[in-house]
Amino acid sequence: MNGFSVEASPKPIPSCPLCQIRKESGRKEDSLKELFIEKLKDLYSAETQLVKALPKMAKAATNSDLRAGFEEHLKQTEGHVGRLEKIMKSLDESPKGKKCKGMEGLIKEGAELIEEDPGDEELDAGLISAAQRVEHYEMAGYGCVATYAKLLGEDQAETLLRQTLDEEKETDKKLTQLAQHINVEAMNSEGTEAATSQMKSRAARA
């Protein structure tokens, strides 16, 4: 013995399985909340773009019921924007900062249709188709964020988001009912034009 004592190295403290689970759970919740906020911003951008587009669609519509439907949905959409602002304020987040490319593309398609200046019935049928694509896009988005809100325990946010989702579904139903009427008018119009063209052709040959 040389008088020096050798201390044994401390044994590693075993990790607590429960602590690890809690850490993993915390990380997953943080990731879900980040996704939740990102998707809320995306919807906010979509709704604010729609607020600008709907007056143009209402002005272009030749069917009075369709025009009134777009005007009604504009007021509804402004309410959706307000709900999203309320949710983001409760999360201490800004709703701005993201551009919804999906909605931008859908609105562009509708604008291009208006610029093409088709016949009245064809234009109205095309506007309904464009509007329903918008509704389906929003329904998918609101369905997702409402589920995220439920998982995160954001009860007030979930209630508001499901309220908007129900309104989007109702708007889609109204558009479907209008489409059944307007699409028949468009088909009848095409048939009349074809018959008129055929009669003129026969008269010219006579």
Domains of the chain: which residue ranges? 28-191
Distant-in-sequence, close-in-space partners of 58: CB < 8 Å, separation ≥ 6:
67, 70, 71, 74
| pLDDT range class, residue 29, cuts 50, 70, 90 | confident
Q: How many Cβ atoms sit within 10 Å of the Cβ of residue 134?
A: 28
What does the pLDDT read at residue 84?
98
Q: Is 184 helix (H, G, I), strand (E, B) or coil?
A: helix
Strand intervals (E) in the chain: none
Angle at 110 between CA 107 and CA 114, to 5 degrees: 140
% of the chain surpassing 70 pLDDT: 75
Place of tokens 């993993």: 24
Using an 8 Å Cβ cutoff, are 42 and 100 in contact? yes
What does the DSSP 8-state code read for residue 3?
Answer: S
pTM over 0.75: yes
Pairwise CA distance, residues 46 & 132, whole Å = 14
Angle at 33 between CA 30 and CA 36, to 5 degrees: 155
First to last CA, the chain: 130
State yes or no: pLDDT of 60 exceeds 90: yes
pLDDT digits (tens, 9 = 90+) for 116-145: 988 888 899 999 999 999 999 999 999 999
For residue 166, give both structure tokens: 């129900």
pLDDT digits (tens, 9 = 90+) for 184-199: 765 665 554 444 444 4
Nearest Cα neighbor of 177 from 118, 128, 119 is 128
State yes or no: pLDDT of 206 exceeds 70: no
Average pLDDT in the 165-177 region? 95
How many residues are present in the chain? 206
CATH 1.20.1260.10 applies to domain 28-191 = yes
